Structure 1
Amino acid sequence: MNKQILCSMLGLLLSTPCYAASLDVHGEIKVNGKTVISDTGAVEIDSLGERAILIEDYLESTNVELELEVSYFYEYNNKQVKGFATETYYANGDYQYSEELEDGSQSLFTETLTSEGYDLETSGVRVWSEEPEHWSCSGSGTLKFEPKLPSTLLKSSPATETRIVSEVEICSDGTEQQERLNNDHRIFTYLGKTTYSYGELNFEDCILVLRQRNHRHSQGIRTNNEFVKYCKDVGFVEIHSMGRRYKATSISVAGNP
């Protein structure tokens, strides 16, 4: 077991500081008569109550279609332009992002899962000059995690993952084939349990997570903090990020549309 995770867990259980050095335990670990770590090193989640969660139970689900909407202001040419965007996460893993600005500019981005990764299509029109500019691109990409987020998150104890994205695109505006590698380093901090309601759907088992992102791309590094609400067997349903609030406007659960 990861020494830092074990130390954080013992600190939560015993309510005392824990300074990781070297800890060699043979057999299970019990607190107040309850096994919290088995003799194989497995974490007994039930014994920790709300102080620990299995994060994979709350991430994107394969039986839920989710749509989120957000409105915001876009800074362009020393003026603010109001924008509106919709994100759709399909149950089969596909993804779509559409955006429209009040000046008439529009864009559409789609990802379709494949056995090798995903295919992507982007298109739109820019109305930033007298003549509208139409554009489109197509390509493919791959995604891997190094490292991957650990299965167990402990309350107030940060855990990290890095998403490595590699994409190749060909655009219709005369630009040559483009390649880019994006490293998205994320720090997850589980803050506690919560609930979420949408229409007649009520989700009683949800969590609030602080997700800190250091996003490396071709133009440098962007850093932002996101407060994300995830619900068990659904995925994320609300995101507060950089002054924008993404909120679910359509949730379709298998067997309960």
Structure 2
Amino acid sequence: MNKLLLSALISATLSANALAASLDVYGEIKVHGVTVIDENGMLVASGPTAAVSLDEYFYVSGITYERRHTNNSNSEFTYYSTEAFATDGSYTESVKDSDNNLSYTYQEFPTNYGYQYQVATADGAMSCSGEVHESISQELPDSLSVGANYAVIGDSLKTWQCNFGEVDDDVTEEKTIYSILAQSSYQLGETTLEECIIVRAYSLTVNNDYPSSSDSMEVRCKNIGLVERSNQGSRLETLSYQQLETSSSRALSNGSQIRLPMTRLPILNAEK
């Protein structure tokens, strides 16, 4: 079994929505050969303990990723994603299918109350737009230290309207705990990426009075971004990547809040 996936399963077992279960491990727990929990049950900050800049791991622009998504029923699909983060806080993602045909484009534009967004399929069959009013009471710093926990706490009012008649409002309260468990290398095909971090993101969310939780494990590499994510039965893998001439990380000029992809793409979820 993939060690990162095993670690994600362990994290899910230890999360708040699995308190009735128990996991008895004798010895240390490793991820990609790196000890993240020692034999005494203590979190280990392995490797250099200097703070990690979010720009270089979370906000990398000008790269096209070939990615494979496998859901918890073991069905999978491959797609190509190109992301761009601008210094003004705007964000664009273009997604192509496995035949390299444009599937959809998603865009975010910052405002003084949060951000506006729009998403549209290439054939025009689906087009949605809306806005999010955010109130963040606690944000992430510009950098994170290995072995420490950081929380993002806030609430939002999310509205959207679609050309196929979907109109909705979402009121969400969310608390996400980010932890850098370790610094490690990562094998991507025949290439060894040396400067990578293993990140856990655990979210408690109340959406329209309905509570839920999400526990994900990610591997992010410097100046490349996300290379793997495991989230409660689903898995996202980066198979290859191509850096464009304009690739760079952006300066966090308007705060350091990180939105999880499932939060960032409400329209695609609502459509299902």
Residues 1:68 and 2:67 are matched in the alignment: yes
| Aligned pair partner of 2:182 in 185, 192, 206 | 192
Residues 98-142 of structure 1: CA deviation (Å, up to 9, x unaligned): 89xxxxxxxx7642133543432366xxxxxxxxxxx84511234
Residues 61-117 of structure 1: CA deviation (Å, up to 9, x unaligned): 12433343212246xxxxxx9464757351243135789xxxxxxxx7642133543
2:6 equivalent in structure 1? none
Over 3 Å counting, the alpha-carbon distance change for 1:228 and 1:113 in structure 2 is: same
Question: Which amino acid counterpart does residue 65 of structure 2 have in structure 1?
Answer: L
Deviation, 1:240, is: 0.9
Indicate the SS of the match to 2:241: strand
Deviation, 1:155, is: 3.0
2:57 equivalent in structure 1? 58
Over 3 Å counting, the alpha-carbon distance change for 1:256 and 1:170 in structure 2 is: closer
Deviation, 1:169, is: 1.8
1:140 equivalent in structure 2? 130
CA distance, structure 2, for counterparts of residue 98 and residue 65 of structure 1 = 10
Question: Which amino acid counterpart does residue 52 of structure 2 have in structure 1?
Answer: L
Please, which runs of 5 or more residues in structure 1 have no aligned partner? 1-47, 75-80, 100-107, 124-134
TM-score, structure 2 length as denominator?
0.55
Residues 1:171 and 2:162 are matched in the alignment: yes
Residues 1:91 and 2:84 are matched in the alignment: yes
2:198 equivalent in structure 1? 208
CA distance, structure 2, for counterparts of residue 143 and residue 194 of structure 1 = 37
Over 3 Å counting, the alpha-carbon distance change for 1:206 and 1:179 in structure 2 is: same
Residues 1:224 and 2:214 are matched in the alignment: yes
2:144 equivalent in structure 1? 153
CA distance, structure 2, for counterparts of residue 171 and residue 147 of structure 1 = 32
CA distance, structure 1, for counterparts of residue 212 and residue 120 of structure 2 = 22
Question: Which amino acid counterpart does residue 158 of structure 1 have in structure 2?
Answer: N
8 A Cα contact 1:72 1:84, kept in partner: no
The percentage of aligned residue pairs carrying the same residue is 16
Over 3 Å counting, the alpha-carbon distance change for 1:164 and 1:154 in structure 2 is: same
TM-score, structure 1 length as denominator?
0.58
Residues 210-248 of structure 1: CA deviation (Å, up to 9, x unaligned): 211123323612212111111112222110111112111
For the aligned residue pairs, the C-alpha RMSD in angstroms reads 3.7
Deviation, 1:159, is: 0.9
* 1:8-27 paired onto structure 2 within 5 Å: none
CA distance, structure 2, for counterparts of residue 87 and residue 160 of structure 1 = 31
Question: Which amino acid counterpart does residue 153 of structure 1 have in structure 2?
Answer: L
Specify which structure has the bigger relative contact order, considering alpha-carbon pairs within 8 angstroms and separated by 6 or more residues.
2
Over 3 Å counting, the alpha-carbon distance change for 1:167 and 1:256 in structure 2 is: closer
2:106 equivalent in structure 1? 111
Question: Which amino acid counterpart does residue 213 of structure 1 have in structure 2?
Answer: S
Which has more radius of gyration? Answer: 1
Question: Which amino acid counterpart does residue 211 of structure 1 have in structure 2?
Answer: A
Over 3 Å counting, the alpha-carbon distance change for 1:90 and 1:188 in structure 2 is: same
Over 3 Å counting, the alpha-carbon distance change for 1:222 and 1:97 in structure 2 is: farther
8 A Cα contact 2:189 2:240, kept in partner: no
Deviation, 1:198, is: 2.9
Residues 1:181 and 2:176 are matched in the alignment: no
Indicate the SS of the match to 1:233: coil
8 A Cα contact 2:131 2:159, kept in partner: yes
CA distance, structure 2, for counterparts of residue 110 and residue 218 of structure 1 = 27
